[in-house]
Amino acid sequence: MKAQNTSSRTVVFVTGAFVSHISWAEWQTYFESRGYTVYAPAWPHKDGDPAVLRSQQPHAGIASVGLDEVLDYYTDFIRQLPEKPILVGHSLGGLMVQLLLQRDIAVAGVAIHPAPPQGVLTFKWSFYKATWRPLGFFSSVNESFLMTLDEWKYAFTNGMSEEEQRSSYEKYVIPESRRASRQALTRIGRVDFTRPHVPLLITSGSEDNILPASLNYTNFKKYRTPGSVTDYKEFPGRNHYVLGQPTWKEDADYILNWLEKNKVSAASPEKRGEVL
């Protein structure tokens, strides 16, 4: 594989399911303080105050959006930037990072606790418990899904105080598209694990219920791309609310250091599949 130069001062944060793009606010400020130009665009129909969006449940506009449409939306946004960016995504946004790298529109990608690509499976009960209602196989895709506070506590903020769980719910949670979530299980969510790619870091958390660390590790191990950098890091004590936990700056620093480390030697054939 030809050497890849990951030199870029532009970052695009890719938001996942169930939460507003404003969940990146502290990360955006922190990356900007390190000299990056940062964007965190909202999905179509999601650019609004979370409380207002919740009050509009069921939200017809959000329900109408498919994963294919969101991927095309980010692709169009990225192609208008002056340089290829670094993509950093969380949850379903992490899967989208993996999928967008296949479109050759970025210089590096970071998938934080990513949703699994098509065909990547787990036997962890917590995954099925947390995703059963959001996927809603016996519900219409024409109606959006809004996670309850109790579901939020289990899927995202397990282990945190009642006050933290409630305040984070009120601050960030919005209705979600079942259409987009279900499409992740189809060919739209398929990753070609044999395709050469720019540097990719997958991270996980030991306490994540909805996307267990073992599932993220299986995702990482699927890559069969000699000459491409594919790294993995599990953080202890992180649940799925990793972007807002008190430890978020440690995770951000790790990612920033990983990006710096891979600016020059990204395509070294000897450096592949590193578990950090």
Between 67 and 271, name the one with better pLDDT: 67
Kindly report the average pLDDT of the chain as a whole number.
93
Do 178 and 141 meet the contact criterion of CB atoms below 8 Å apart? yes
Average pLDDT value for residue range 88-100: 98
pLDDT in tens, 154-193: 999 999 999 999 999 999 999 999 999 999 999 999 999 9
Predicted confidence band at 274 (pLDDT cuts at 50, 70, 90)? low
Confidence check: pLDDT of 272 > 60 = no
Question: For position 263, what pLDDT does the model report?
Answer: 73
CA 191 from chain centre, in angstroms, equals 14
What pLDDT does residue 124 have?
97
The answer to whether 106 and 100 have CB atoms below 8 angstroms apart is yes
Residue 270 banded pLDDT, cuts 50, 70, 90: very low
Residue 6, pLDDT score: 55
Q: What angle do CA 261, 233, 81 make, to 5 degrees?
A: 55
Q: Amino acid identity of 169? A: Y
pTM, two decimal places: 0.94
Give the model's pLDDT for residue 7. 79
Q: Which residues contact 3 (CB under 8 A, 6 or more apart)?
A: 266, 267
Domains of the chain: 10-275 (3.40.50.1820)
Residue 197 confidence (pLDDT):
96
Q: Which of 4-13, 104-113, 250-259 has the lowest mean pLDDT?
A: 4-13
Q: What is the mean pLDDT of residues 69-87?
A: 97
Rounded Cα gap, residues 112 and 42, in angstroms:
18
Q: Model confidence over 12-68: pLDDT tens digits?
A: 999 999 999 999 999 999 999 999 999 999 999 999 999 999 999 999 999 999 999
